[in-house]
Amino acid sequence: MAGSGEPGLYSRQLYVLGGGARRLAEASVLVSGLRGTGAQVAAALVLAGTGHVVLHDNEAARTADRAHQVVVLTESPLEEQLCIGDFCHAQGICFIVADTKGLAGQLFCDFGEDFVVEDPAEGDPVCAAVQHISQGNPGVVTCMGTEDSRGHPFCDGDLVTFSGVEGMTELNDQKPIPVHVLDAFRLEIGDTSSFSPYRLGGLVLQERLPQVHSYKSLCQALAEPKIQVASAEELLRSHNLHAAFQALHAFCREQGRLPRPRAQADAERVLELARSLRVQQGLLDENVVRAFASVSAGDLCPMAAVVGAMAAQEALKAITRKFLPLDQWLYFDALECLELEGAMQLTEEDCAPRGTRYDGQIAVFGAAFQEQLGHQKYLVVGAGAIGCELLKNFAMMGLAAGPGGDLTVTDMDTVALSNLHRQLLYRSSDISKPKSVVAAAAMQCMNPDVRVTAHQNQVGPATESVYGDDFFQRLNGVTSALDSLEARAYLEKRCLHCLTPLLDSGTEGPRGNVLAMVPFLTKPLEPPGVPRDGTFPFCTLRYFPRTIQHTLQWARDEFEGLFQLPAEHVNRFMKDPAFLEQLPAGKALEVLEQVQKSLQERPQNWQDCVHWAHRHWQSCYHNAIAQLLHTFPPEHESSPGVPFWTGDRICPHPLTFDPDNNTHLQYILATAHLFAQAHKVPPCSDQAATQTILRSTVLPPFQPQEELNIPLAEEQEEVQVPEDHGRLVKLTQDLVQKRQELLQGEEVQVPLMEPIYFEKDNDIHMDFITAASNLRAENYGIPPADWLMSKRIAGQIVPAIITTTAAVAGLACLEVYKLVWGCQDLKYYRNSNLWLSDCLLLRFQPLPPTTYWYGGREWSCWDRLEMQAVTADGQEMTVQEVLDWLQRTYGWTVTMLLHGYTVIYDKEEDEEIQARQQAQRLSENLKDARETQQLELLYVCEGEDAGASNRRPPLLCSLP
Reported as a single tens digit per residue, the pLDDT across 286-309 is 999 999 999 999 999 999 999 999
Q: Going by C-beta distance under 8 Å and a sequence separation of 6 or more, which residues neighbour residue 892?
A: 855, 886, 939, 941, 942
**Which of 114, 841, 128 lies closest to 511, judged by CA?**
841
Task: Please give the Cα distance from 432 to 416 (Å, whole number).
Answer: 6
Alpha-carbon separation of residue 839 from 116, 228, 311, 317, 441 (angstroms)? 17, 8, 9, 11, 34
Look up residue 29 and give its DSSP letter.
Answer: E
Three-state DSSP state, 132: strand
Model confidence pLDDT, tens digit, residues 182-215: 988 899 998 999 999 998 778 888 898 899 999 9
Task: Please give the Cα distance from 2 to 25 (Å, whole number).
Answer: 6
Residue 695: exposed, middle, or buried by beta-carbon count in 10 A (0-12, 13-18, 19+)? Answer: exposed
Mean pLDDT in residue range 724-740: 78
Residue 233 pLDDT level (bands cut at 50, 70, 90): confident
Residue type, 152: H
Length of the chain counted residue by residue: 960
Residue 518 Cα to chain centre, angstroms: 24
Check pLDDT > 50 for residue 638.
yes
Q: In what order do the strands lie in the sheet with 840-844?
A: 452-455, 406-410, 377-381, 477-480, 502-508, 511-517, 831-835, 840-844
Active site residue 539: yes
- State residue 948's pLDDT score: 73
* Whether the Cβ atoms of residue 425 and residue 392 lie closer than 8 Å to each other: yes
Task: Please give the Cα distance from 620 to 531 (Å, whole number).
Answer: 31
Task: Please give the Cα distance from 523 to 54 (Å, whole number).
Answer: 46
* Whether the Cβ atoms of residue 135 and residue 193 lie closer than 8 Å to each other: yes
Q: Which one is predicted more confidently, 810 or 481? A: 810
Mean pLDDT in residue range 389-400: 97
Task: Please give the Cα distance from 367 to 394 (Å, whole number).
Answer: 17
Check pLDDT > 90 for residue 924.
no
Check pLDDT > 70 for residue 943.
yes
Three-state DSSP state, 865: strand
**Which of 618, 603, 612 lies closest to 670, judged by CA?**
612
Please report, to the nearest 10 degrees, the dihedral formed by the alpha carbons of residues 820, 826, 829, 835 taken in order.
Answer: 150
**pTM for the predicted model, two decimal places:** 0.85
Task: Please give the Cα distance from 177 to 142 (Å, whole number).
Answer: 16
Q: Is the peptide bond before 376 cis (omega within 30 degrees of 0)?
A: no
Model confidence pLDDT, tens digit, residues 333-373: 999 999 988 888 899 999 999 999 999 999 999 999 999 99
**Which of 10, 47, 11 lies closest to 29, judged by CA?**
47
Residue 531 pLDDT level (bands cut at 50, 70, 90): very low
Check pLDDT > 90 for residue 426.
yes
Model confidence pLDDT, tens digit, residues 494-524: 999 899 999 999 998 999 999 999 999 999 9
Check pLDDT > 80 for residue 421.
yes
Alpha-carbon separation of residue 33 from 55, 364, 844, 866 (angstroms)? 8, 21, 31, 55
Q: What is the mean pLDDT of the chain?
A: 88
Residue 412 pLDDT level (bands cut at 50, 70, 90): very high
Residue 501: exposed, middle, or buried by beta-carbon count in 10 A (0-12, 13-18, 19+)? Answer: buried
Residue type, 704: P
Check pLDDT > 70 for residue 24.
yes
Alpha-carbon separation of residue 154 from 100, 549, 786 (angstroms)? 39, 18, 22
Residue type, 523: K
Check pLDDT > 50 for residue 655.
yes
Radius of gyration of the chain (CA): 34
Residue 280 pLDDT level (bands cut at 50, 70, 90): low
Q: Is the peptide bond before 138 cis (omega within 30 degrees of 0)?
A: yes
Say how many CA atoms lie within 13 Å of 200 toward its Cβ: 17
* Cβ contacts of 547-551, under 8 Å, gap ≥ 24: 547/127, 547/129, 547/146, 547/782, 548/773, 548/777, 548/782, 548/783, 548/784, 548/785, 548/789, 548/793, 549/147, 549/793, 550/782, 551/773, 551/774, 551/776, 551/777, 551/780, 551/782
Q: Over the range 175-210, which residues count as b (16 or more CB within 10 Å of their CB) and which as e?
A: eeeebebeeebbbbbeebeebeebbbbbbbebeeee
Listing DSSP states for 595-616 in one string gives HHHHHHT--SSHHHHHHHHHHH
Task: Please give the Cα distance from 862 to 497 (Å, whole number).
Answer: 8
Angle, alpha carbons 812-813-814 (nearest 5°): 90
Model confidence pLDDT, tens digit, residues 442-485: 999 999 999 999 999 999 999 988 998 889 999 999 999 888 88
- State residue 596's pLDDT score: 86
Question: Which of 41-45, 649-653, 747-751, 941-945 has the weakest average pLDDT?
Answer: 747-751
Listing DSSP states for 361-376 in one string gives HHHHH-HHHHHHHHT-
For the chain, first and last CA: distance in Å?
Answer: 63
Alpha-carbon separation of residue 432 from 337, 418, 443, 445, 462 (angstroms)? 41, 12, 19, 20, 24
Mean pLDDT in residue range 324-332: 96
Q: In what order do the strands lie in the sheet with 140-143?
A: 177-178, 159-163, 203-207, 127-133, 140-143, 186-188, 180-181
* Whether the Cβ atoms of residue 482 and residue 381 lie closer than 8 Å to each other: yes
The β-bridge relationship of strands 857-860 and 104-110 is: unpaired
Task: Please give the Cα distance from 381 to 61 (Å, whole number).
Answer: 45
Task: Please give the Cα distance from 431 to 416 (Å, whole number).
Answer: 5
Angle, alpha carbons 286-288-290 (nearest 5°): 70
* Whether the Cβ atoms of residue 142 and residue 372 lie closer than 8 Å to each other: no
Three-state DSSP state, 896: strand
**Which of 388, 375, 381 lies closest to 408, judged by CA?**
381
Q: Over the range 322-341, which residues count as b (16 or more CB within 10 Å of their CB) and which as e?
A: bbebbbbbbbbbbbbbbebe
Residue type, 253: R
Residue 333 Cα to chain centre, angstroms: 26
Look up residue 296 and give its DSSP letter.
Answer: T
Catalytic residue among 539, 609, 684, 941: 539
* Whether the Cβ atoms of residue 380 and residue 813 lie closer than 8 Å to each other: no
Residue 700: exposed, middle, or buried by beta-carbon count in 10 A (0-12, 13-18, 19+)? Answer: exposed
Q: Which helix (H) or strand (E) holds 714?
A: helix 714-717
